[in-house]
């Protein structure tokens, strides 16, 4: 009997995971039901967890991915102290010349990192989380950073800038994405055809001046 579409999709996701050398595909279980994917198992660090999510979304026909992957610390890192993790993250934050890190506080407990304090851009908040998640031995990151803008930007101007950027994009059909802004918080809704476009929609909002948060409810369909 020929395999059904879900089985074919599952095999394509597995092949994508095997191709991606950031992910150990042998540790990931994939289930597909009606175009909805569930990932379970373990990965070696936070970037691998995100990579697996994006790999699944890159397969045609995927509507949703439930990422239940857990970060499992390598045996050689289990004895690493929380203080060592904190020091490594702080050094990486301070070494990033695009990020104003003076207002960022880092604490770790049982390899779970908490970021607190302030940054002056929303993309800076995201970069700080990426840096923390990439540190060896980290199993999770709780990002409590607040965005405090150096200058107030009017919501109307933020919305205009985002929409104009969508119009300039070769990937985005701006008629399929709705943008609302209130007190610097951007709310995105709509339907796009694949994960590349969804990521582009999100990133445009992320890097727009004056944005303090992005609520991304854009779906793939």
Would the pLDDT of 6 be above 60? yes
Would the pLDDT of 17 be above 70? yes
What is the rounded average pLDDT of the residues 155-177?
A: 95
Q: What is the pLDDT of residues 127-139, one digit of tens each?
A: 999 999 989 889 9
79 pLDDT tier (thresholds 50, 70, 90): confident
In the chain, the domains with their CATH numbers are 5-71 (3.30.1340), 77-147 (3.30.1340), 155-220 (3.30.1340)
45 pLDDT tier (thresholds 50, 70, 90): confident
What is the rounded average pLDDT of the residues 66-92?
A: 89
Tokens of 124: 């800076």
Phi first, then psi: what are they for 150, rounded to 5°? Answer: -75, -20
Q: On the CB side of 149, how many CA atoms lie within 13 Å of its CA?
A: 14
Tell me which of 216 and 60 has the higher pLDDT: 216
Beta pairing, strands 112-119 & 104-109: antiparallel
């Amino acid at each position: 009997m020929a395999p059904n579409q879900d089985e074919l999709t599952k095999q394509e996701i597995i092949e994508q995971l095997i191709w991606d050398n950031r992910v150990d595909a042998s540790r990931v279980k994939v289930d597909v039901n009606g175009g909805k994917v569930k990932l379970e198992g373990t990965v070696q660090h936070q970037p691998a967890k995100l990579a697996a999510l994006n790999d699944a979304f890159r397969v045609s026909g995927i509507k949703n991915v439930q990422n239940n992957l857990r970060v499992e610390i390598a045996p050689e890192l289990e004895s690493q102290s929380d203080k060592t993790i904190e020091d490594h993250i702080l050094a990486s934050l301070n070494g990033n010349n695009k990020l104003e890190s003076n207002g960022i506080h880092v604490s770790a407990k049982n390899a779970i990192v908490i970021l607190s304090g302030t940054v002056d851009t929303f993309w800076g908040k995201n970069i700080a989380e990426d840096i923390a998640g990439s540190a060896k031995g980290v199993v999770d990151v709780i990002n409590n950073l607040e965005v405090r803008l150096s200058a107030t930007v009017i919501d109307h101007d933020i919305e205009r800038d985002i929409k104009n950027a969508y119009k300039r994009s070769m990937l985005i059909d701006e008629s399929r994405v709705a943008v609302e802004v209130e007190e610097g918080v951007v709310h995105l809704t709509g339907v796009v055809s694949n994960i590349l476009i969804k990521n582009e929609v999100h990133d445009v909002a992320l890097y727009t001046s004056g944005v303090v948060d992005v609520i991304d409810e854009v779906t793939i369909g």
